[in-house]
Amino acid sequence: MSRFLPVLALLVAPAAAFASGNALTIPVATLAGHPADYVGKHVVTEGYLIDRAAGRAMLGATNSGVVEADTVMLTGPQTQRLNYFDRFRVTGVVEAAPDTQANGSNYLLHLSAPPEKLGQ
């Protein structure tokens, strides 16, 4: 057995997730740091509600309440009903935003399902 086989399996796994129609689960900080890599892709991430405004919500890696670079803007079903500082799992498609978001990003995650509240 080749010693490179496990590495190859790791590289192929994300492609298999997309090919099977499943969403790719990634950390919110990774999504925030490299949103262009995921445009048009169906993803799942978890984080804390940091802020809400104008039909959008901001999801962050921590519940500090501070708008930081590792936040993701959300749009879609029930974003205005989320409670501040609660932790959620969200599923959606990464899209280019029509304007620069409050967190400085030009991307957002359009939810394809209502957010799922998680334990603290």
Cα–Cα distance list, 33 to 29, 68, 103 (Å): 6, 11, 11
- Residues across the chain: 120
State how far the Cα of 35 lies from the Cα of 110, in Å rounded to an integer: 12
pTM for the model: 0.77
CATH of domain 23-118: 2.40.50.140
Confidence of residue 11 (pLDDT cuts 50, 70, 90): very low
- Give the confidence band of 21 by pLDDT, cuts at 50, 70, 90: low
**Segments in the chain forming alpha helices (H):** 5-19, 28-33
Please give the pLDDT value at position 119: 80
Q: What is the mean pLDDT of residues 19-45?
A: 88
